[in-house]
Amino acid sequence: MNEYQAKLKELLVKSTITTGPYTPSEFVKNTDHIAVLINGKPVYLAGESDCDASINEAKQLASSEMYKLALSKIGLTGELSYGVISGSDIDWQSSHHAIVKSESGVFEDGQGVGELIGINLTENQSLGVLMCVNDSLARILDPQCPELDNGHNLSFLAQAN
């Protein structure tokens, strides 16, 4: 394990959120969601459209420069916004990458089964992991998340390895 991988593992253990698979129910497939959008296309579902906490989460992600940069690194660029989208308008897969609650101090293997926080419709595992270990993004998803990576240290290690 190189220094980057060791630091990433350390941050994932410390974080109160992790990635995990999510199989959408019929209810989820047909309800209204609050979503982060790129050019009107949903990339992240924060929760039900009438949930104030989910609306706030989507609003903060849509205005986050770090989230915009992360999306651009996986080839998703354009106007970042948030809004309501019907589940019936989403191209659902049998399973999606999700962000779920986890226990700080416990190592997980990416198969998290905790409380659902949001659904990463980009299907990019690296983006999901970044959302769990970057200070500014993780604290949007869980305000109780401890201090993690500032967006520079992990990037530096990634380039060095």
- Report pLDDT for 99: 95
Query: Residue 120: what pLDDT?
Result: 96
Domain count for the chain, please give it: 1
Show Cβ contacts of residue 1 under 8 Å, excluding neighbours closer than 6 positions: 9
Structure confidence at residue 105 (pLDDT): 54
Range of the domain at 43: 3-160
Q: What pLDDT does 149 receive?
A: 84
Q: In whole angstroms, what is the distance from residue 43 CA to residue 37 CA?
A: 6
Beta pairing partners, 44: 36, 120
CB 54 within 8 Å of CB 47: yes
pLDDT, residue 7, reads 81
* pTM, to two decimals: 0.88
Cα(136)–Cα(47) distance, integer angstroms: 19
* Structure token digits, residue 100: 């779920």
Rounded CA-CA distance 46/56 in Å is 9
pLDDT tens sequence for the chain (161 residues):
788 788 888 888 899 999 989 999 999 999 999 999 999 999 999 999 999 999 999 999 999 999 999 999 999 999 999 999 999 999 999 999 999 998 665 554 545 456 899 999 999 988 999 999 999 999 999 999 999 888 766 665 555 55
